[in-house]
């Protein structure tokens, strides 16, 4: 039986749109704030103590900037992948989050905004990525720099839960969450 992988899930530091309360989704160009850079450095220090053997990151700027700090702290190259992107919110991206409570059906894992991605699609994307990662793991401990909804989807996959059972709590910006995964 294959050994489980240890996954260190790093949520990117605070972005300008986090601070402004805007829906980010897969908007690519949103950078970290000064606080976000501080959070990224703190996460990088924690990650270095946990000694991952590989480092992968979402290809969205806020995650890449966080991964750059992690790469400096660990000495590992940060390998970007679109598989670790945040859930896409299509036409809702850039809108104030507080305006969306009556627009988004948060209870339906198959709902998506026009041009966006449902939680079920996010869950499937993440599950496929993790299964592929386990097929040929680059290390026993792997750091993944990613986003809040993506981390929740990873947690559901690791727990053997479907897209309708994602954890309700999103890890804070700049946090490191450790999980074990063996498909």
Catalytic residues: 12, 86
102 vs 79: CA distance, rounded Å = 37
Three-state SS annotation for 55-109: EEEECCHHHHHHHHHHHHHHCCCEEEEHHHCCCCCHHHCCCEHHHHCCCCCCCCC
Contacts of 101 (CB under 8 A, 6+ apart): none
């Amino acid at each position: 039986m294959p050994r489980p992988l240890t996954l260190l899930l790093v949520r990117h530091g605070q972005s300008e749109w986090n601070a402004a309360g805007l829906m980010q989704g897969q908007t690519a160009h949103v950078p970290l704030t000064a606080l976000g850079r501080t959070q990224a450095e703190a996460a990088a220090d924690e990650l270095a103590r946990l000694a991952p053997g590989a480092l992968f990151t979402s290809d969205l700027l806020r995650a890449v900037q966080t991964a750059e700090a992690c790469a400096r702290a660990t000495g590992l190259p940060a390998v970007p992948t679109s598989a670790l992107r945040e859930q896409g919110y299509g036409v809702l991206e850039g809108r104030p989050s507080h305006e969306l409570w009556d627009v988004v059906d948060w209870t339906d894992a198959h709902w998506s905004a026009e041009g966006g991605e449902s939680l079920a699609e996010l869950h499937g994307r993440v599950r496929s990525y993790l299964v592929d990662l386990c097929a040929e793991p680059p290390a026993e401990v792997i750091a993944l720099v990613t986003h809040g909804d993506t981390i929740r989807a990873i947690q559901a996959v690791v727990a053997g839960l479907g897209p309708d059972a994602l954890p309700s709590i999103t890890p804070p910006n700049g946090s490191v969450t450790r999980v074990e995964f063996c498909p």
